Structure 1
Amino acid sequence: MNKPRIGVIGIPGKWSTEVLADRLEALTGFRAVIDMAQVELRLDTNQVMYKDLDLAQLDGVIVKKISQVYAPAAEDRVLMVSHLERLGVPVFSSADAIGGLINRLSGTLALQQGGVPMPKTRITECPEQAFATLQAFGSIVLKPLYSTKARGMMMLTADQPEAELRAALKAYREDNDLYYIQQTVNLDGRDLGMVFVAGEYYCTYARVGNKDSWNTTIHSGGHYEKFEPSDELIELGRKAQACFNLSFTTVDIALTDQGPVVFEVSAFGGFKGALEGCGLDAAQAYAEHVVASVTKGAAQ
């Protein structure tokens, strides 16, 4: 076949989206960054249009980012991508794999069912049960079902005044459908991002906090460092990412005094941690994998 035409669904102007499109263009000579906010699904003609480009005519599509933020609306976009997949366009990662990770609860349940160690987690709609869990755990993090980079999360400790805690739980419930509660773990100021390409281990970096925030995200002032994991730790990451069959992902792992635990598996893992922490071009590795997969599929 001629060099494949592979588009990138992402956020125009964002570094990870643009660098992936750059790598694909260097390999294939074709470049298309697709903003889902401007995509039209034409069921009457089986076209999926982005401006004047019919995505159904592409040889493949990479979903780098489905939305600026995780939200129920992102699941609607996943459904549109799934229709594109049913029209025969290879999608990386598949819509089914991505769809299982938009909502934090569905991702958590898949990890739990896969036997992956996680922080103690409880889910409820009831403020009284949430308060009882806080008392039992001593310290908790409340996590919205749709969020990334610790946005919207709230940390509470049982030694705070009861009235203050109940008011915080009430306010949180007003903005969220339920309480997703995890017991806090000792991160020693860092957690890990373990990168996989097509299910194969690629590298691991550490996110190191700036000591002014309870979380280690770059959004909150953290930075990346290289980390050399043990074989056992790599196998934990491999087990976690295998629950979702993603083409590219980052597994978030914490090293605690009770052993390693997995926080989450990302549907849209980034490239900056691998680049700044490990000195590796994960975007290049991912682009090469997708081009090889599309070319092989066309030849069969």
Structure 2
Amino acid sequence: MTDFKIGVVGIPGKWSTEVLADAIEARTGFRLVIDMAAVSLNLTRNCLEFRDSAGVRHDLTELDALIVKKISAEYSPGSLDRLELLRVAEARGVRVFSSAESMIRLIDRLSCTVTLANADIPMPATLVTEDVTAACEAVKRFKAAVFKPLFSTKARGMCIIENTGDDAALEAAVREFVAEHPMMYLQQRLDLPGQDYGMVFVGGRYLCSYARVSGGDAWNTTIHAGGKYAPFEPSEELIALAQRAQAPFKLDFTTVDVALTDDGPIIFEVSAFGGFRGALEGAGVDAAAAYLDHVMECLA
């Protein structure tokens, strides 16, 4: 038992948030789950105040550390604002896992993609544009493309637009997407074998991998769409690629999303937060405990 006061930024009641809070309480005797919607930055008093469900106020700058399991239920530009608030805690000496600056670079899908591209990480053919004509031309080249919001998780808001030979229908579909997402992000839809992989890293060190297997007729493998977790043992070469992909972000905990194609492995994204359930159900690894070991090692 230690006397470290470590708070968990997450979604109260959600499995991963509560599992991490349970592990911290068992190790330290302290438990605090923080919903960022109830956090206020008071620059006059120079404090970052959280009001819990009982109305008790906690100054987060008085904690030893904050572990960010989830900054919001869904990614949005507002998620960036919440991370900015955590920079105040960092400036006051609170260790934030992962650092706010590292997470900020991953909330926006475009920022993640640009970093991966600059590091020569293989990804699906990608176009980012506000030009409807350029997007339509890309769909024709790709035959089918996955259009993705710049802020989203678990494939929410994504859609597939195919080239059926009807130019008017294609343009109408693209214009419907761009009406909600002015900066379009689209990737060639790849012919994958019904599964992709999550590769987990703690403090930059490889921990484990698991497969996500699509459920039914879903085009994506997310658990949100009915997918399930399964074991997966990657090659040393694939581990090295995933390690290289996550390295520029300097995260304390992350999952790298990988797929295997006929032309070799590709990286879809590096997660700002990563998940615990896939590691537990797919690989039999308690990733929450491994993450906490890392945090305690850093604090010590």
Task: Identify whether the pair has TM-score above 0.5, normalized to the shorter chain.
Answer: yes
Aligned to 2:229: 224
Aligned to 2:98: 93
Gap runs ≥5 in structure 1: none
For residues 200 and 31 of structure 1, the distance between their equivalents in structure 2, rounded to whole angstroms, comes to 27
Relative contact order, higher structure (CA 8 A, sep 6+): 1
Alignment equivalent of 2:60, drawn from 55, 61, 64: 55
For residues 224 and 45 of structure 2, the distance between their equivalents in structure 1, rounded to whole angstroms, comes to 42
**How far has the Cα of 1:161 moved from its partner?**
2.5
Deviation by residue 1:121-164 (Cα, 9 ceiling, x = unmatched): 11110111100111112111000000011111111221252222
For normalisation by structure 1, the TM-score amounts to 0.96
1:193 aligns with 2:217: no
Aligned to 1:182: 187
For residues 115 and 25 of structure 2, the distance between their equivalents in structure 1, rounded to whole angstroms, comes to 35
Letter paired with 2:104:
G
**How far has the Cα of 1:211 moved from its partner?**
3.5
Aligned to 1:71: 76
1:82 aligns with 2:53: no
1:28 aligns with 2:22: no
Aligned to 1:238: 243
**How far has the Cα of 1:44 moved from its partner?**
1.2
Work out the number of aligned pairs and report it: 295
Q: Please show how residues 1-300 of structure 1 align to structure 2 within 5 Å.
A: 3-51=3-51, 52-159=57-164, 161-294=166-299, 296=300
Letter paired with 2:41:
L
Deviation by residue 1:182-228 (Cα, 9 ceiling, x = unmatched): 01112200000000011110000000001311111111010000100
Q: Give the SS at the match of 2:249.
A: coil
Percent identity (aligned): 54
Q: Is the 8 A contact 1:189 1:211 kept in 2?
A: no
For normalisation by structure 2, the TM-score amounts to 0.96
Q: Is the 8 A contact 2:2 2:28 kept in 1?
A: no
For residues 135 and 160 of structure 1, the distance between their equivalents in structure 2, rounded to whole angstroms, comes to 8
